[in-house]
Amino acid sequence: MTRAVLSLGSNLGDRWATLQGGVDALLTGEGAPVPVALSPVYETAPVGGPDQGAYLNAVVVVETEGTPEELLERAQAAERAFGRVREVRWGPRTLDVDVIAFGDTRSDDPRLTLPHPRAHLRAFVLRPWLDVDPTAHLPGRGAVADLLAAVIADEPEEEEEPHLREDLRLGPPGGSP
């Protein structure tokens, strides 16, 4: 079994229901990875791209017997199930699922670069990941706690840190807030 980290985000429609639906889609069915941890939900300002609404973000840590490519296909299938459209880079999305890390695997494959090439710069990935794994390391980059501290120190004053949404909780497939 290999431990993998997935980041989920949504800023269109019923964001929480979409995140929970994404968790359900990722963790059910034949060959589904085994959940290890579901992070708290954070509300975050969009990074890059056109003007758009705030995101809800979370991290899911799983263990899988599958390959990184199989996990990516499962992530993209979940996105498609929620109407993900890839028209504008970094544009608004119903559901975004990124494979952040897959064990210690490193790959420069343009279809699936591992670890995720911008994860070390994204508080909306690092903060929830740190919540569920305080000793986490991003392969080739270092301790997630140190990476988050650096991102927070480097953020422009107008950007906000991720805001914990204590009123929203993800659960295993079929969960509720």
Q: Name the active-site residue from 3, 24, 98, 131.
A: 98
Instruction: Report the distance separating Cα 10 and Cα 21, nearest Å.
Output: 11
CA dist., res. 144 & res. 130, Å (int): 6
Active site annotation includes 84: yes
**106 part of the active site:** no
Which of 15, 24, 96, 133 is the catalytic position? 96
Q: Which DSSP helix (H) or strand (E) runs through 126?
A: helix 123-132
Percent helix, strand and coil across the chain, each to the nearest 5: 30, 25, 45
Catalytic residue among 93, 122, 127, 133: 93
Q: Is 89 a catalytic residue?
A: no
| Alpha-carbon gap, residue 112 to 85, rounded angstroms | 18
Determine which one of 15, 74, 84, 122 is catalytic: 84
Q: Is 93 a catalytic residue?
A: yes
Q: Give the active site residues.
A: 84, 93, 96, 98
